Amino acid sequence: MAKYCTQCGTQIEESGKFCVECGTPVEQSAAVGQSVLSGKRERVLGSNKSKSNVSLFIAVIIVPLALGILIFFENLPALSNPIIDEQPLVAESVTYPPVPRQMKTIETRVRENKIILPLDVVLQKKFVAFEFNNNGRVIPLLAYVSGEGKVITAISMCEPCNSTRFHIKGEQLVCNSCGTTWELNSLDGLSGACQGYPPDAIPSIVVGNEIQIEIAPVINWKPRV
Amino acid sequence: MALIEIENIEKHYGKNGTNVKAVSGISTEITFGEFIAVLGHSGSGKSTLLTMIGGLNHPTRGNIRVDDLDIYALNPEQRADFRKEYIGFVFQAFYLIPYLTVLENVLIPFAISDLSAAKRNSRAMQILEKVGMADKADRLPDELSGGEQERVAIARALVNEPPIILADEPTGNLDSVTSAGIMQLFADLHREGQTIIMVTHNQENLKYASRTISMKDGRIDQLN
């Protein structure tokens, strides 16, 4: 590629040191150029650094922040009761009339560390009360078929008022003592003083004509207040 | 050593089946300290060439190396830094910001600089001195003549001390007397070692440049 004098534009031979027209030294401009350009190339190529700074920022600030937010929300009280979510369906949807349906006490038996309820009886009576006697400590329990057809088993206790009796009225579960109401399907509080203390759900499964409740969570159950 | 190496670059514009070759196959080298005039009629591809050298316009084919940097192989952030470090632009339409004073307009390139405010101001005033506008530093662009506005635009291009000034028809909006003053300013800068590439279609301006690249239909017509 041809070289030209930087001052007068005369073409200079590849090996030329001076312009033959105006005498401008070839090396001079190159030397000035080197000093003006010094550091610039490194600063341009260093722009990669700013990119990695961004990833560093993401790594140091954003990721822990996102994790923090996630953990915060994970630890919030569950919006739905996970035990009720897992309960088995035993019937088509059930509609309760707006008149109180009281609990019917039934007999249960215990086999292989399980409390066994007859499913057909529960289906027929819809809302039953029973007890588990743990070496003298009597724990009240209840079972009912919810509006969406799930069998729900729970400790039959509203701790603030010490009541063990409830009734179903329409789509609500009602404490016989304080009148607090909960939604029948979810046990979410609706009205009254003890909304935070619905019957504490205990998991159960259905095998053939048996509703089976492991006794461990019943024995380990402690009043919430 | 060449400051700018242009290697067989082409630029095609067009869509919907039309294809215009604005620049087709230009190769040249520009040495540090040269004052190049790029001469050509409207549509000859000279402005396209200028914007490609300035890192603003990706060539369809070919490479441009500046200070051994292949500027279109850089990532966009690096190319932005390349423009900041290497290039000062001067446009025909000045592009001064109307509600900022002369000094504030010249300070704009420092918006992305690490210099202290005091250093920025003294550097900007020094450049305004050089272009003969120091006494009007607190004026608004409206209050200046066209030639004065162009001097401010040149000061703005110079304030970051870029090794390369790219000027697109810098005297296109000026009368001949004012043009001569601006061209003399470019000539002074060139004598101090500034590399300048200036697009013009005014034959009068050629005498200030050290070399002319003449363009026609996207190609280099002749080298003087």
Please tell me whether residues A68 and A103 are part of one structural domain: no
Among chain B residues, the shortest Cα distance to A37 is held by B163
Is residue A117's pLDDT more than 80? yes
Confidence (pLDDT) at B173: 82
Kindly report the number of other CB atoms within 10 A of residue A218's CB atom: 16
Residue A183 gets the label, from left (phi > 0), alpha (psi -120 to 50) or beta, of beta
A181 Cβ neighbours under 8 A, 6+ residues apart: A172, A173, A174, A175, A189, A190, A191, A192
Partners of residue B190 in chain A, C-beta under 8 Å? 7
CATH of the domain at A215: 2.102.10.10
Taking a C-beta distance cutoff of 8 angstroms, is the pair B54, B162 a contact? no
A88 and A45 fall within a common domain: no
Is B29 an 8 Å CB contact of chain A?
A: yes
| Residue A28 and residue A114 in one domain | no
> Residues A94, A197: one domain?
yes
Domain with A31, as residue range(s), is 3-74
Mean of per-residue pLDDT scores for chain B: 91
Counted domains in chain A: 2
The answer to whether residue B33 neighbours chain A at the CB level (below 8 Å) is yes
Least Cα separation, residue B8 to chain A (angstroms): 12
Domain boundary among A39, A74, A109: A74
Dihedral of the CA atoms B152, B157, B161, B163 (nearest 10)? -140
The pLDDT value recorded for residue B162 is: 93
A88 and A70 housed in the same domain: no
Residue A37 has pLDDT above 90, yes or no: no
Q: Best interface-test mutation with B: which of A19, A27, A40, A53 has the largest number of B CBs within 10 A? A: A40
Q: What Rg do the C-alpha atoms of chain B give, in angstroms?
A: 17
Q: Which of A58, A74, A90 is the last residue of a domain?
A: A74
pLDDT digits (tens, 9 = 90+) for A121-143: 999 999 999 999 888 888 999 99
Contact A168, A198 (CB under 8 A): no
Q: Which residue out of A36, A43, A49 would a mutagenesis test of the B interface target, given it has the greatest number of B Cβ atoms within 10 Å?
A: A36
Whether residue A114 sits in one domain with residue A167: yes
- Beta-carbon separation of B32 and A30 below 8 A: yes
> Looking at the predicted structure, is the pLDDT value of residue B55 above 60?
yes
Chain B residues in contact with A36 by the CB 8 A cut-off are: 32, 161, 163, 193
pTM of the model: 0.60
Whether residue A27 is found in the same domain as residue A119: no
Phi, psi of B26, rounded to the nearest 5 degrees: -105, 135
Of A74, A100, A124, which one is at a domain's C-terminal end? A74
pLDDT at A52 over 60: no
- Single out the residue of A200, A185, A118 nearest to residue A153, CA to CA: A200
Same domain as A200, residue A164: yes
Inter-chain residue contact A36 with B163, CB threshold 8 Å:
yes
Query: Which residues in chain A are contacts of B35 at CB distance < 8 A?
Result: 6
Residues A137 and A104 in one domain: yes
Q: In this structure, is residue A35 part of a structural domain? A: yes
Written as one letter, the residue type at A31 is A
**Chain segment B187-201, per-residue pLDDT in tens:** 999 998 899 999 998
pLDDT tens string B113-125: 778 889 999 999 9
- pLDDT band for A31, please (50, 70, 90 cuts): confident
